[in-house]
Amino acid sequence: MRNLLVELFVEELPPKALKKLGEAFASQLTEQLRGLGLASADSVTTAFASPRRLGAHVTHVAAKAADKALQQKLMPVSVGLDVNGLATPALLKKLQALGADVSDPVFAVAALRKAPDGKAEALFYDSLVSGATLDVGLQQALDVALAKLPIPKVMSYQLEADCELPGWSSVNFVRPAHGLVALHGDTVVPVKVLGLTAGNTTQGHRFEAAKSPVVLANADSYAQTLLDDGAVMASFADRRADIVQQLNQAAALIGHGVSAIEDEELLDEVTALVERPNVLVCEFEPQFLAVPQECLILTMKANQKYFPLLDAQGKLTNQFLVVSNISPADASAVVGGNERVVRPRLADAKFFYDQDRKKSLAARVAGLDKVVYHNKLGTQGERMGRVCDTARAVAELLEPASPAAEAGALVRQADMAARLAKTDLLTDMVGEFPELQGIMGGYYALNDGLSLEVAQAIEDHYKPRFAGDALPRNLTGVVVALADKLETLVGLFGIGNLPTGDKDPFALRRHALGVIRMLVEKDLPLSLKDLLAAATPVFGDKIVDASAALTDFIFERLAGSLREQGYSALEVDAVLALKPQRLGDVPKRLAAVRAFTALPEAPALAAANKRISNILKKADAAAVADAHVSELLLQEPAEIALYAAMQDITPRAQAQFVAGDYAASLQTLAALRLPVDAFFEDVMVNAEALDLRLNRLGLLKTLHLAMNQVADLSRLAA
């Protein structure tokens, strides 16, 4: 029982896939070894992944798996043995297939075991299966691990040796492989993959390795030997942590409160590009800071993989950090080279910015008519016309709640922002960097002399772009963002372009969650029904009205979001069963339901509510519709008491509901528990006399309506 090290040395791996490839290789290898009994549940796996290698270190790996006692049911005794107790041809054939010796049928039968199997006896064959050796097991595990790697794109290349036709025989892998290490302790395991035979040597850093090749004494010395002799930090996690530490140290040495920009994806990609990181400080000319910092940051991150430096206020400085793969004694040439490389990129950004500002956003509106949005829904110009119409309608709904002092200001601002929101798609900067759409629109709006409110709305109308993203900063932005997302949802649902499974090419789920978040988190006094009614007619005859399907879709997304926030399935189901049209009320309703379920009366009232629902469902629909309560027809003491309690309690609960105090409303209704319990104990609802039956149904209907305004309490019943 010793530790195992496996390394596959290859040409430069795709950086964006390296982390997943390393983790998958190590986990698959360990999983296969455990399945063969060569590794145990206590075995610990360490994954290695650098630009030119995938590796795994697995502790407590056996040279040979333990033998296993195998018990196999063959067939019923009546089928396997004849009347004389001798083996039938069927039994002999089965034993032969299992590899048993059937040269002496009598001896073969004597070696079998009879045991009860249900109502009859069956024959069982007991054998001892030899455990797999590491030589065989590791070969199998490697083959499976490589086959299951999440390779983004497979390469085909020819082998030069150890194959049937050197120079002609080809294999498929993510990149050409040039070396294989397999060490069990200090012993080489003779396995082969991709035309390579395992050994105990690998290659280090291309330029800085102290030795070539790097000889590995044993499995446990791999990481340290590769670092000392090969100048390679093999662990992806260790290399990443080292980069973070160096970035922080470099920023601290500069001082003035600067810090490297935080970007997890960039950090992972840079970690996958270097074997031994060396962080260097570079700078560019301050004149480029006149360009919006988002442009400079994006070009430095996306094109050069640099880490921009921000000051204490979050403003971009003219210094940046480079993660180099070499560590020369004099790094001035490396620094100068990176500074020369970034300068043309920044100059391009400045040129685009200067050129774009020569033409106003308003002058670009006509150009949207030449950009196709969807073959069934028209151009971007037509689309923005619909967004404008919807934005005006939403703004009119919100106008009474708007803080704007001037009447109609919100409508005018929303209309202007919506009309210009997509015009930056026609600018050179967004053409070069599509990720800046909206952001550049905000900058160009300010350049055109538009108000900050409109500029921010143009920038924010894509928000929220992803889970956890910020919402638009002002009410105009919220209106335009709602209109933009509703236009997409209504239009695509209206032509039948719905998400299927995990396919959602138009990001309709994200758009729906964006609408939900704005309505809920901004607590907007808007009805979902009114919003869809505003967004649907603007399409004319281009679509069919899919409001019902879209409403269900939005509530499904809302239910999933609420469950992720920690609300129970019962709580969510109870509130959303009523499909409350003002989504801003949903959190308050959920809080009220949670408080209600903590009351001692809650289980009994929920059960009674469920019983009432069932009674009303089973009753004649027309009868229930006509049913009402007449105090003169109340006979039993329990129904008289319930009616009296309702006369006292439900008006108070209703007033609290209207005032939006949902928790107090449900707590007030909890006082009905005792009279409700007594009613079901003593009163026959389905009385023979029609007038009595209808009166009691009317009483239950009134009670049901009163109790289920905040949520469908019957959904809380166990």
CB 464 within 8 A of CB 452: no
Average pLDDT over residues 479-488: 97
Q: Could you identify the residue written with the tokens 């060396």?
A: 278
Residue 199 DSSP code: B
Q: Could you identify the residue written with the tokens 């090290």?
A: 5
**pLDDT of amino acid 96:** 85
Cα separations in angstroms, 28 against 132, 145, 183, 220, 675: 18, 5, 18, 20, 63
| Cβ burial, residue 184 (10 Å; 0-12/13-18/19+) | buried
Q: What is the rounded (10 degree) CA torsion for 308, 311, 317, 323?
A: -30
CB 334 within 8 A of CB 280: yes
Question: How many other C-beta atoms are found inside a 10 Å radius of the C-beta of residue 333?
Answer: 9
Each residue's pLDDT tens digit, 264-313: 999 999 999 999 999 999 999 999 999 999 999 999 999 899 999 999 99
Each residue's pLDDT tens digit, 16-72: 999 999 999 999 999 999 999 999 999 999 999 999 999 999 999 999 998 887 788
Ranges of beta strands (E only) in 203-252 are 214-215
DSSP 273-340: T-SS-EEEEEE--GGGGGS-HHHHHHHHHHHH--EEEE-TTS-EEEEEEEEES---S-THHHHHHHHH
- The highest-confidence range among 77-81, 472-476, 686-690, by mean pLDDT, is 472-476
d(CA 48, CA 33): 18
Confidence of residue 456 (pLDDT cuts 50, 70, 90): very high
Each residue's pLDDT tens digit, 522-548: 999 999 999 999 999 999 999 999 999
Ranges of beta strands (E only) in 534-600 are none
pLDDT of residue 403 exceeding 70, the answer is no
Phi, psi of 195 (to 5 degrees): 75, 15
**pLDDT of amino acid 571:** 94
Q: What percent of the chain has pLDDT over 90?
A: 75
Task: Tell me the two tokens of residue 201.
Answer: 């040597």
DSSP 446-497: HHTT--HHHHHHHHHTT---STTPPPPSSHHHHHHHHHHHHHHHHHHHHTT-
Task: Tell me the two tokens of residue 333.
Answer: 């040439």
Q: What is the rounded (10 degree) CA torsion for 565, 568, 570, 573?
A: 10
d(CA 267, CA 263): 6
The reported pTM is 0.81
Each residue's pLDDT tens digit, 161-210: 777 787 788 889 999 999 999 999 999 999 999 999 999 999 999 999 99
Task: Tell me the two tokens of residue 616.
Answer: 């009303």
Which residues face 8 on adjacent strands? 54, 180
Cα separations in angstroms, 212 against 206, 216, 231, 359: 9, 12, 11, 60
| Cβ burial, residue 263 (10 Å; 0-12/13-18/19+) | middle
Query: What 3-state class would DSSP assign to 76?
Result: strand
Question: How many other C-beta atoms are found inside a 10 Å radius of the C-beta of residue 81?
Answer: 19
| Cβ burial, residue 369 (10 Å; 0-12/13-18/19+) | middle
d(CA 269, CA 258): 23
Each residue's pLDDT tens digit, 565-575: 999 999 999 99
d(CA 616, CA 701): 7
Q: Which of 342-356, 401-415, 484-498 has the lowest mean pLDDT?
A: 401-415
DSSP 335-388: HHHHHHHHHHHHHHHHHHHHHHTTS-SGGGGGGGGGSEEETTTEEHHHHHHHHH
Phi, psi of 228 (to 5 degrees): -70, -50
Question: How many other C-beta atoms are found inside a 10 Å radius of the C-beta of residue 235?
Answer: 20
d(CA 505, CA 483): 20
663-677 in b/e form (b: 16+ CB < 10 A) is bbbbbbbbebbebbb
Q: What is the rounded (10 degree) CA torsion for 323, 326, 328, 333?
A: -60
Average pLDDT over residues 667-687: 90
CB 575 within 8 A of CB 586: yes
Task: Tell me the two tokens of residue 71.
Answer: 């018990």
549-567 in b/e form (b: 16+ CB < 10 A) is ebeebbbebbbebbeeeeb
Residue 132 DSSP code: P
DSSP 654-697: HHHHHTT-HHHHHHHHGGGHHHHHHHHHH--SS-SSHHHHHHHH
DSSP 393-444: HHHHHHGGG---SSTTHHHHHHHHHHHHTTGGGGSHHHHH-GGGTTHHHHHH
What sign does the dihedral 525-529-531-537 (CA atoms) show?
Answer: negative
pLDDT of residue 615 exceeding 90, the answer is no
Looking at this protein, which amino acid is placed at residue 87?
A: A
The residues, ordered by sequence, that sit 6+ positions from 544 with a Cβ below 8 Å of its Cβ are 494
Average pLDDT over residues 669-684: 91
d(CA 634, CA 699): 10
The mean pLDDT value of the chain amounts to: 92
Domains within the chain, CATH numbers bracketed: 2-65+133-230 (3.30.70), 68-129 (no CATH), 236-356 (no CATH), 375-566 (1.10.3210), 587-716 (1.10.730)
Which residues face 156 on adjacent strands? 172
pLDDT of residue 516 exceeding 90, the answer is yes
**pLDDT of amino acid 375:** 92
Higher pLDDT, 20 or 108: 20
d(CA 73, CA 124): 4
CB 217 within 8 A of CB 198: no
**pLDDT of amino acid 103:** 81
| Cβ burial, residue 532 (10 Å; 0-12/13-18/19+) | buried
Query: What 3-state class would DSSP assign to 82?
Result: coil
Looking at this protein, which amino acid is placed at residue 416?
A: M
Task: Tell me the two tokens of residue 433.
Answer: 């960097």
pLDDT of residue 405 exceeding 70, the answer is no
Question: How many other C-beta atoms are found inside a 10 Å radius of the C-beta of residue 138?
Answer: 26
Angle at 175 between CA 171 and CA 177, to 5 degrees: 70
